Amino acid sequence: MSTLTELQETTTEPVNGRERNLMDRCERCGAESFIVFTKGSMTLPACRHHGLEWEAKMLLTEWIMWDYTHLLNERPSVSANAD
């Protein structure tokens, strides 16, 4: 189980207008992050699965949710030439 305090030290991203960091990994399962929660200088990246799972609880505690799940559909398919 990870702690939020250790995230504070590794985060230099601006909170507003935040760009998705390709290095972000879900805090729970390590999958590629498509949802990021921020609160002050803290960030908590999550995969789509865990991001949606945590959404209600996080918003209740005043975290901001950055949803990048739309990027899931913009990724090039590696099987595009499979025709």
Q: Given the rule CB under 5 A, which residues bind Zn ion? A: 26, 28-29, 31, 47, 50
Closer CB to Zn ion, residue 17 or residue 75?
A: 75
Radius of gyration of the chain (CA): 14
* CA dihedral over 68, 56, 49, 38, signed as positive or negative: positive
Of the candidates 77, 12, 74, the one whose C-alpha atom is nearest the C-alpha of residue 43 is 12
Residue 25 vs 79, nearer CB to Zn ion: 25
CA dihedral 14, 8, 35, 65 (to 10 degrees): -70
> Cβ of residue 81: shortest distance to Zn ion, in angstroms?
31
Taking the complex as a whole, the smallest distance from the CB of residue 69 to Zn ion amounts, in Å, to 13
Q: Which is nearer to Zn ion, 18 or 48 (CB)?
A: 48
Nearest approach, Cβ of residue 71 and Zn ion (Å): 16
